[in-house]
Amino acid sequence: MGTLYDMQHRLELRDIPGKGQGVFSARDFKAGDTISVGVIKKILSKNERNATQIGEKKFVLLAGLMSRINHSCDPNCGIKPNLLGAYDLIALKNGKRDEEVTFDYALQNYVIDYFTEKCACGTAICREDITGWRDLPLERRKEYADFVAPYLIEMDRRKTERPVENE
Ligand SMILES: [Zn+2]
């Protein structure tokens, strides 16, 4: 396992000209490193902006900067469930100090309810619409493999077993 970074001291919220704000790493990191430990601040009764989905109908607000991390269609981080019932942010690739930390919102949301605007990630494989796991191409799902919320895999499995079931 990689280095465990302190959320408060290793990540910084910074302005991005023309794009609002983003969360940046204050140090170099390597693929496999835990960039941030997710801690639940509040359990919500429904989905809302900045919410993190941790189950089919479970939404929470995470502490610190975790809820402020921008989406990218080609992110440098994925997520893994932790013992606190939230997700840790895990680096998918090596990164440099001052690099923006991103993950794909499809890794924690089956469908995306709160992003009607077009994606601004600017990567070569941008999907334009910020879609959820349900709408992610199969090859992309395979690439993310171990870095998605387990309940998404579980929902897929149930749909495959009972394809006529309602959403
Ligand atoms: Zn994009």
Task: Going from the first residue of the chain to its last (167 residues), give the mean pLDDT of each consecutive group of 10, the final group possibly shorter.
Answer: 53 89 92 92 89 90 90 96 92 95 93 80 92 91 92 88 59
d(CA 26, CA 22): 13
d(CA 119, CA 93): 21
pLDDT value for 49 = 80
CA of 165 from ligand 1 middle (Å) equals: 31
Considering the domain delimited by 7-161, tell me its CATH architecture: Beta Complex (2.170)
pLDDT value for 163 = 55
**Strand 70-71 with 102-103, pairing:** parallel
CA of 105 from ligand 1 middle (Å) equals: 10
CA of 44 from ligand 1 middle (Å) equals: 27
Element (H, E) at 41: strand 40-44
CA of 167 from ligand 1 middle (Å) equals: 26
CB burial of residue 3 (10 Å; 0-12, 13-18, 19+): middle
Query: Contact, 97 vs 147, CB < 8 A?
Result: no
CA of 102 from ligand 1 middle (Å) equals: 11
Element (H, E) at 138: helix 138-144
d(CA 133, CA 10): 29
CA of 131 from ligand 1 middle (Å) equals: 9
d(CA 57, CA 96): 36
CA of 20 from ligand 1 middle (Å) equals: 15
Query: Contact, 59 vs 48, CB < 8 A?
Result: yes
Query: Contact, 133 vs 105, CB < 8 A?
Result: no
Query: Contact, 77 vs 45, CB < 8 A?
Result: no
